[in-house]
Structure 1
Amino acid sequence: MKEEEIIKGIQSGDMICYEQLIDEYGAYLVRVIMKVSSGMLQTTEIEELCADVFIKVWQKQRTLEIETGKLKAYLGAMARNHTINLMRSKGRREFIPLEEDSIDYETPEDSLVQEEDNKLVLAALNTLPEPDREIFIRRYFYMEKIIDIAEILHLNVQTVGTKLFRGKKKLERALKERGVAYE
């Protein structure tokens, strides 16, 4: 089944398309979660994270807007974010600050600003051509090594490094055009 058919099927509530989504992308999500967590999660936690991602997609079926060719990146980003959130929550349980000043309070405004920044970064990232976009996502979202990216994409290691360098410059320009300033 093609990606476009899966997306349209899920949007219309087709369980067969949903099952196809799980079959086609389940192993990929496991790899993303293992990479992001550096192998620090148990098998049951990995399975739960995968299930959480697929459930979230199903719950958003009516409002799901994924362009053709971007489903894998969308799922990978969701898996990455769910994994980071789980790792943070585990860290918060293990390390309780001793002083009130060391607690980092996040306001609703902070959350909204962060969400807006994330949307701007994603929009800027989508301006990169392929394979530059995939290289950038693999390196900075999935924390893959440059040598591994080069091997997977059948590119020279120096080429991957150059594309990352140039991609950062392009993203910097695109973000500045959108009003995002950073240090």
Structure 2
Amino acid sequence: MKDEEILMALLAKDEVVFDSVIKQYSKLLWAVAYSILGKNYPSHDVQELVSDVFMRLWRSPEKYEPSRGSLKNYLALITRSSALNKLRRKAIFEYEEVCLEEELQTPVQHPEIWTAFLVSIQELKEPTKEICIQRFVYEQKPETISRLTGLSKSEVNNRLYKGKRKLRQLMAKQLMKGEF
């Protein structure tokens, strides 16, 4: 089947064709993702990324343009891009986590930072609030928080990432007010 025919079938939501695309390209996409993520991620995260690429194709087949290249290359590029983004998010998350943890390590030396944190964390919505408390107050690892909350580890990491960004903003406002 030619790429144009596959596209037409996907636009018509033909599940049989979609299944054949998955069978044909799964190993390739897994290899592309694994070559970037390597041993930094467990195999189920690599598989989840590949599944997300296929779901992206299923939801928006119109984004694929056969005139610009083959379906194989299109899927490989999406996989590569997604894997690189995942790697970047992890690096940013780890850097910000270290920075925030260093700020919160010394409540006695910097009580205003600790107070701003405690006031700011109350403004977060659940479950992000609970996740941030578990991580930054009780120093729980994301894996442990995942088990406690019933959320996936990637969801916990995403909420930590977004929660830290929000906490930084809220803490900056609190510290600028100078009420402590």
State the TM-score, normalized to the length of structure 2.
0.49
Q: TM-score, normalised by structure 1?
A: 0.49
Structure with larger Rg:
2
Structure with bigger helix share is 2
